[in-house]
Chain A
Amino acid sequence: MTLTIFSQQLINAVSLGSLYALVAIGYTMVYGILRLINFAHGDLLMVSSYAAIYGITIFMLPWYVSFPLAMVFTGVVGILLDRAAYKPLRDAPRISLLISAIGASFLLENLALVIIGGIPKAFPRPDMFARVITVLGVRIQVLTLYIPTLTLILLFGLLFIVYRTKTGKAMRAASKDFETTRLMGINLDRIIAVTFLLGSTLAGAGGIMWAMKYPQVNPFMGVIPGLKAFIAAVLGGIGNIIGAVIGGFLLGLGEILLVALFPGMAQFRDAFSFVILILVLLFRPTGIMGEPITDKT
């Protein structure tokens, strides 16, 4: 393998890893605060991509209006999802929430299927993101530079909200103990709504980035990103926001290196991710940045 090819593969890895990281942040945040594995997170990616497409094609909005609107829309869908699928189960055993999340995921996918149909749609990628630049023989899609930048901006924004604002303090309190937080006079439903708003808006950002990188949108497009983000979150230590970013990058790097070093093994790429998931769960269930497991009922 020449240096150019190696650098190219490294760029490919950063590009894929930052996308996983971006999706994993939202995933892990909702888990960190509610201890809920939101299986519908991947499907929110799909909702946001379609919203962005329709903003451009039906409402004739320029992309810089349509994309943020799609993210906000996804945030609202996230809140509605919480109200419909998770809120009624607030005091139920955790397993009921998990089942409800899986149901919500199927519901979103099939709803999209019925409303939109199964044929994949092209995503209108603005020219400024589709450009390719060449550095020393390595081809870099400019999107590959934007995605990690956006991931880092959103990461720091999120860290600021969680650790520097009052709402963030309430979120962290809620993550420790619902009942006591409620007794302290905090409006728990509002905090949870904000959590879902943030998490789903992040999913929205991930969805748009994903659709720009792989400009094909269909009702099941969220399944694989959702699974990969889940693995990235577990690898990084589920619930830990910085861990999600590290986990995402590592997972992308691992997948690309597997294919680059052993081209004949390319078909085992997804299997590789799941093996990582299993190994992490077996040997270090709290992941790279994980906190020790605490009991919380």
Chain B
Amino acid sequence: MQRKSLLASAMTAAFLIAAFLSPVQAQDTVKIGAYLPMTGTVASYGQMEWDGIQIAHEMKPEVLGKKIELILVDTKSDKIEAANAVSRLVEKEKVVGIIGEAISGNTMAGNPISEAAKVPSVSPTATNPLVTQGKHYAFRACFIDPFQGEVAARFAFNELKAKTAAVIIDIAQDYCVGLGNFFVKEFVKLGGEILSTTYIQTGDQDFSAQLSAVQSTNPDVIYAPNYYTENALMAKQARDLGIKAPILTGDGAQVDALIDIGGEAVENMYFTGHFHPEAATTERGKEFIARFRKKYNKDVDAFVALGADAYFLLVEAIEKAGSTEGPKVRDALATIKDFQGVSGVINMGEDGNPIKSMVINKVEGGKFVYVTTVNP
């Protein structure tokens, strides 16, 4: 009897302490979750974005007088893992805001879950329009694909003087399919001709058959809006086959691994991108670049900059809302104006899509070189 009551009182005490402790802890910090591909086929994106988020956290570690706690979950570059990651952040970690994912397909897997839980999310680099369409709590820090595809088409037609194009699309990625479609639409509208459209799949390594078919039509430009690994291998095989047409691609290519793997074959590859350090205009951007260079001893990539911007946007919205409640933060995010981000000035437009300028970069001498800026 005595032992039982001792046990009961000990348990009551434990419960009391636990009940007392947890709200105190919760009040101490503001939890922001991130779900990113740290491993798998697009790991470069996630790792770069995480680097950016951490520097951003260093620059602004507090909001509403509380410390910000970052929680990272790896999505392994996989759609199912991405959905699980968001569930975990929402249910177990009780985060007030979410950063992620890096690519469109995975963000579309994760968004419905944060949407249902009324937790605002900001993806650094998911550029497919469908990512935020019809969603109330989903935002992003980057421009969207229609703009990117159109600018690519205009650049190909006006600057590269291309009258004919071949399109090679990774059918497994919503991002690549979207970009391809918008490019084709605009290129045809301008008076160009699409000679062939062929498909590949994420993880494919042999493109010789597709490229031989492309070669037989001899296009002025190849539009291949795919991710960096496929792009690097494809460029190599294209050059081996003697294809000389310039290759034009999207923002997914601006990763060091592209140059590591592609080497000379990716020289003169053009791509539409979010950012180049040379084009950095904001004070925040300059400070960020300086800090990043000091810590990592290398230049800031678009993915690093956008990772940071996703963080800054969330924190700014929490501050503006004066609260961490989902609906209030969401409203603050939706009305962000003239926000001085690392990647440039951000105005939140319709559907949680920022309106911002785009840069065109190319590979030259084993480096990403800034070509020009295009405003919306």
Contacts and interface: CB of A to CB of B under 8 A. Distances in A.
Contact of A120 (B199, B201, B204, B229): B229
A2 B216 CA distance: 8
A219 B241 CA distance: 28
The contact size tier of chain A is: 35 or more
Contact of B240 (A121, A132, A269): A132
Contacts of B216: 1-2, 5
A220 B209 contact: no
B209 A121 contact: no
A259 interface: yes
Given A220-B41, A259-B210, A269 B241 contact: no
Interface stretch (B114-122, B256-264, B281-289, B354-362): B256-264
B261 A215 contact: yes
A270 to B, nearest CB: 7
B213 to A, nearest CB: 5
Contacts of B179: none
Interface string A9-30: 1001001100000000000000
B210 A216 contact: no
- Please indicate which of the listed interface residues B38, B229, B241 has the most CB atoms of chain A within 10 Å of its own CB: B241
Contacts of A113: 39
B58 to A, nearest CB: 23
Nearest to B74: A118
Interface string A206-220: 000000011110111
Nearest to A110: B39
A162 interface: no
A11 B230 CA distance: 21
Given A139-B240, A216-B232, A263 B198 contact: yes
Given A8-B241, A12-B209, A266-B200, A120 B257 contact: yes
Interface of B: 37-41, 43-44, 47, 77, 171-172, 196-201, 203-206, 208-210, 212-213, 215-216, 229, 232-233, 236, 240-242, 257, 260-261, 263
Contact of A122 (B77, B206, B261): B261
Contact of A214 (B40, B196, B206): B206
A120 B209 contact: no
A78 to B, nearest CB: 23
Contacts of A220: 40-41, 203
Minimum-distance CB pairs A-B, first 6: A118-B43, A259-B209, A118-B39, A214-B205, A267-B199, A12-B208
Contacts of A2: 216
- Please indicate which of the listed interface residues A2, A12, A132, A255 has the most CB atoms of chain B within 10 Å of its own CB: A12
Contact of B47 (A119, A132, A139): A119
Nearest to B76: A118
B229 A264 contact: no
Contacts of B200: 266-267
Given A120-B257, A216-B261, A260-B212, A270 B201 contact: yes
Contacts of A118: 37-41, 43, 47, 77
